[in-house]
């Protein structure tokens, strides 16, 4: 009897713990990206809302974006859990090496084959598994994937003011309305700042600090909006970024990198090139000229790194895709790569090696899936996809991340000891509640068993001739 009761209790407990989420209990995820929000931007600015979010949830010291640390490739890693060489969105710019045509960031959003290239963003995976998803302004939104789109999506217009705080609030309310009225399970929401301000004025400028205050106000507004729309109970909000930002030196402060000035190098040896794009570059030499180009550039400048595609450091995961050109260049922090002559005048840049601290992004998460007041160590953003799939209860596509990198942030895992210790009394209370619950179930099972046995005994007395022992045991062992 004891074994029987205990196993029934275990069955009951496992049903509660592993119950397939019903529509009411299913957890939702809002993934927010603030473009170019460096990991330490909250250190020199008062950020009461980001601080509150950290107290109510999880904060990572920083997160490491994939290389190349630029917008579209890095966002597509968030959406797919794949390194850039595996998802194929290798640049912000679509290009054709035969026609030498290129398209800038915004126009590239609409080049379907650039995005729909084998890897599915999480909003499609969710839809395929019976969830409903949406995306607002997130890079990759304009494209369809295997002919599919999320339930609802909105692409920003061409001339969009990415800084407008009033629009930010409208977008936050719109997304919360989607969760509430359309009962979406997942939404990706993108803000184009503080990237623009970081580029224009530099990461240490007062303008960047003001923009971080605007981000902070918006984070508070987003959380209030979730409350107002009555969706906060089931909503997990993950806020991160695609990369950081670092100062660029010029005007005689440093010896700038200008390819045309390098002895032995000639643009006439190239069929196609992508330079004048921050600190990174890719070159396609004409047939038979690869060694010449490579040898001219290698060791030409102490802060210029030159790699043949197949010799790229493996840790960067930026080699395997056919779209990556045969020679890859990148500069050390402080430098950009100019082509014929300097045409780049940003005070801040990204696109550098993802090992550089200035390229690291921030990460906050809050909601029913996450521990509270927990600060965790760094992890790679390639792992956020698996985390989101887990919370949504969907099966991830093949990806390069792993839940092991983030599962310690979840309430379903024991609280890591590095964080704030859980209140001792709370622990005792939880333990006592569990014991009380267990005893209650034992009591109920015993009582119902007794009652049924008694009932059947009576029944048997009334019509003992018709009821066999076998049938009794069958009736009582429900
Ligand atoms: Zn940027």
For the chain, domain boundaries: 24-247+354-424, 257-345
Structure token pair of residue 246: 């670092």
**Taking residues 105-124, what's their average pLDDT?**
97
Rounded Cα gap, residues 404 and 333, in angstroms: 31
Interacting residues of 284 by C-beta distance below 8 A, sequence separation 6+: 97, 270, 271, 272, 273, 325, 326, 327
Q: What is the pLDDT of residues 33-65, one digit of tens each?
A: 999 999 999 999 999 999 999 999 999 999 999
Instruction: Round the CA-based radius of gyration of the chain to a whole number and report it.
Output: 28
| Span from the CA of 348 to the centroid of ligand 1 (angstroms) | 9
Catalytic residue positions, numbered = 71
pLDDT of 291 above 70: yes
**Taking residues 438-465, what's their average pLDDT?**
47
Q: In this predicted structure, which of 103-107, 412-416, 433-437, 472-476 has the lowest mean pLDDT?
A: 472-476
Question: What Cα–Cα distance (Å) separates residue 171 from each residue in 52, 73, 139?
Answer: 22, 23, 15
| Span from the CA of 36 to the centroid of ligand 1 (angstroms) | 6
How many beta carbons lie within 10 A of that of residue 242, not counting itself? 28
Q: What is the pLDDT of residues 419-435, one digit of tens each?
A: 443 443 444 445 555 55
Residues, Cβ < 5 Å to ion ligand 1: 195
Class of domain 24-247+354-424: alpha beta
> Dihedral sign, CA of 435, 437, 443, 448?
negative
Rounded Cα gap, residues 291 and 274, in angstroms: 18
Q: What pLDDT was estimated at residue 252?
A: 74
Q: In this predicted structure, which of 110-124, 182-196, 431-445 has the lowest mean pLDDT?
A: 431-445
Mean pLDDT of the chain: 88
**pLDDT band at residue 417 under the 50/70/90 scheme:** confident
Question: What Cα–Cα distance (Å) separates residue 331 from each residue in 72, 94, 187, 304, 453?
Answer: 20, 22, 35, 5, 81
Q: How many CA atoms lie within 13 A of 182 on its CB side?
A: 19
| Span from the CA of 350 to the centroid of ligand 1 (angstroms) | 6
Class of domain 257-345: alpha beta
| Span from the CA of 425 to the centroid of ligand 1 (angstroms) | 48
Rounded Cα gap, residues 364 and 50, in angstroms: 8
Q: What pLDDT was estimated at residue 425?
A: 40
Q: What is the pLDDT of residues 354-366, one digit of tens each?
A: 999 999 999 999 9
Rounded Cα gap, residues 252 and 250, in angstroms: 6
pLDDT of 370 above 90: yes
**pLDDT band at residue 250 under the 50/70/90 scheme:** confident
Q: What pLDDT was estimated at residue 86?
A: 98
| Span from the CA of 137 to the centroid of ligand 1 (angstroms) | 15
Question: Is the whole model's pTM more than 0.75, yes or no?
Answer: yes
């Amino acid at each position: 009897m004891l074994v029987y009761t205990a196993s029934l209790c275990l069955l009951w407990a496992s049903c509660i713990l592993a119950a397939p989420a019903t529509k009411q209990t299913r957890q939702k995820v809002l993934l927010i990206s603030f473009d170019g929000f460096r990991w330490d931007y909250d250190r020199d600015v008062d950020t009461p809302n980001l601080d509150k979010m950290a107290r109510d949830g999880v904060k990572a010291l920083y997160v490491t974006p994939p290389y190349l640390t630029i917008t579209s490739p890095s966002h597509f890693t968030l959406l797919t859990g794949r390194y850039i060489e595996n998802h194929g969105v290798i640049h912000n710019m679509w290009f054709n090496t035969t026609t030498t045509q290129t398209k800038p960031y915004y126009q590239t959003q609409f080049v379907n084959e650039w995005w729909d290239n084998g890897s599915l963003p999480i909003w499609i995976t969710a839809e395929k598994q019976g969830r409903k998803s949406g995306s607002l302004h997130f890079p990759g939104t304009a494209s369809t994937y295997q002919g599919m789109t999320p339930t609802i999506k909105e692409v920003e217009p061409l001339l969009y003011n990415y800084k407008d705080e009033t629009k930010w609030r409208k977008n936050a309310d719109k997304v919360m309305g989607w969760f509430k009225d359309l009962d979406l399970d997942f939404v990706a929401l993108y803000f184009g700042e503080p990237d623009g301000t970081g580029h224009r004025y530099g990461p240490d400028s007062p303008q960047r600090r003001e923009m971080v205050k605007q981000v902070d106000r918006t984070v508070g507004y987003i959380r209030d909006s979730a409350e107002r729309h009555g969706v906060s109970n089931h909503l997990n909000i993950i806020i991160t970024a695609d990369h950081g930002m670092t100062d660029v030196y010029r005007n005689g402060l440093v010896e700038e990198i200008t390819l045309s000035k390098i002895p032995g190098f000639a643009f006439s040896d190239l069929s196609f090139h992508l330079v004048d794009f921050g600190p990174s570059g890719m070159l396609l030499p004409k047939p038979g000229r690869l060694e010449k180009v490579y040898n001219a550039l290698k060791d030409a400048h102490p802060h210029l790194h030159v790699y043949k595609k197949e010799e790229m450091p493996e840790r960067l995961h930026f080699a395997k895709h056919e779209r990556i050109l045969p020679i890859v260049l990148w500069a050390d922090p402080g430098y950009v790569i100019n082509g014929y002559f300097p045409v780049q005048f940003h005070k801040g840049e990204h696109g550098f090696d993802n090992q550089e601290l200035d390229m690291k992004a921030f990460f906050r998460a809050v909601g029913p899936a996450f521990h509270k007041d927990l600060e965790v160590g760094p992890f790679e953003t390639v792992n956020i996809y698996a985390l989101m799939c887990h919370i949504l209860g969907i099966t991830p596509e093949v990806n390069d991340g792993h839940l092991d990198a983030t599962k310690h942030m979840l309430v379903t895992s024991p609280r890591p000891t590095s964080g704030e210790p859980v209140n001792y009394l709370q622990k005792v209370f939880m333990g006592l509640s569990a014991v009380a619950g267990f005893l209650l179930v034992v009591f109920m099972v015993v009582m119902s068993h007794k009652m049924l046995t008694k009932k059947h005994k009576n029944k048997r007395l009334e019509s003992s001739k018709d009821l066999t022992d076998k049938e009794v045991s069958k009736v009582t062992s429900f």
